[in-house]
Structure 1
Amino acid sequence: AILSPGVVGSKPLVHVAATSSQEVLGYASYTMPATANTKGKSKTISAMPLEEAEKRVGSRFDVALFDCEGCIDMSLTPELARQLRMILWEQDGSSYMNNRRWYRRLIAYGFRLHWRVQDSFPTTHWITHTAWVRDDHSSLPSCTEFRSRDEIPRSTLKCMDARLTNGSKLAR
């Protein structure tokens, strides 16, 4: 079922498509707050408050996926962070936002970095995916343990988390 033809949040956003010089396999588009200046220039995406989305689903959200350049800046509020047990985050390099600032913020919210993997498309080496969990989920397998246990080829799951401790090295 479709929850909403928009975003879960308190404010509408606009979708800004990549220019032909930026576009790489459909990547490089992004969202930003809708303002009077953006009206008519980009597609406006309606917003549904988190409480309404949870009411429609019939449950509270405890996992969030952030999958676009900079959307974590507009989406992860302290209130939402308090109710989550896991955050999955696609990081498209640092051209759109300061990832280190977010590493520090996630650690302050009580999360620790559990997985960090490189994107599996050969031409998107700058994209990483991270999984952040609360300390009470420390029994989850590491990326390398999971890959080994399920016999997943290294080319399919490119683990980068072998030497990380809580993400604090990345937050510096």
Structure 2
Amino acid sequence: MSSSDQQAAPSRLAVPELSIGIGLLACAAAVAWQTLAIPVSPLYSKVGPTVFPYLTMIGLVVLSLLLIVAALRGGWQPEEEKETPTDWKAMGFVAVGLIANLLLIQPLGFTAASVIMFVLVCFGFGSRHTLRDALTGLILALAAYFGFARALGVNIGAGFVENQLNTVIDAIIGALRG
């Protein structure tokens, strides 16, 4: 069989990849639904609070359609990757990390919950450097928290760590001003 005959052969439907594309399309629909619920004041002329959510939704729709088309053409994974068995233990650590973040963000705060999630996800990906992972997660979580809380004024879940650091930062700022 020549290479042109092989290229003309119909591709198989890649069901797992199709599922990802459809799931992402569902996420885009959820973003659209929630964005429609955002109250928009008539004072906004062209750019309001829904611009970025709608841009995100459009990006998700385009990406999901590209993934669906790729899945209909046989998928994007090379054949040798398709035959690699799923590491369910690793997937379990990643899932537990995400669930832990969801459950712990309210009682512990964003930073502590994020560090725990980061360590579990790193472990799921094969890292056995827990202290390094925790410190890296702490730096990233604090940067994200203070980026949202201080720069944007959005509270994403202050806990003990954030409250203590906010007290120190406010005291330093007060001392510098006074």
Q: TM-score, normalised by structure 2?
A: 0.19
Q: Per residue, is there more strand in 1 or in 2?
A: 1
Q: Per residue, is there more helix in 1 or in 2?
A: 2
Q: TM-score, normalised by structure 1?
A: 0.19
| Larger Rg over CA atoms | 2
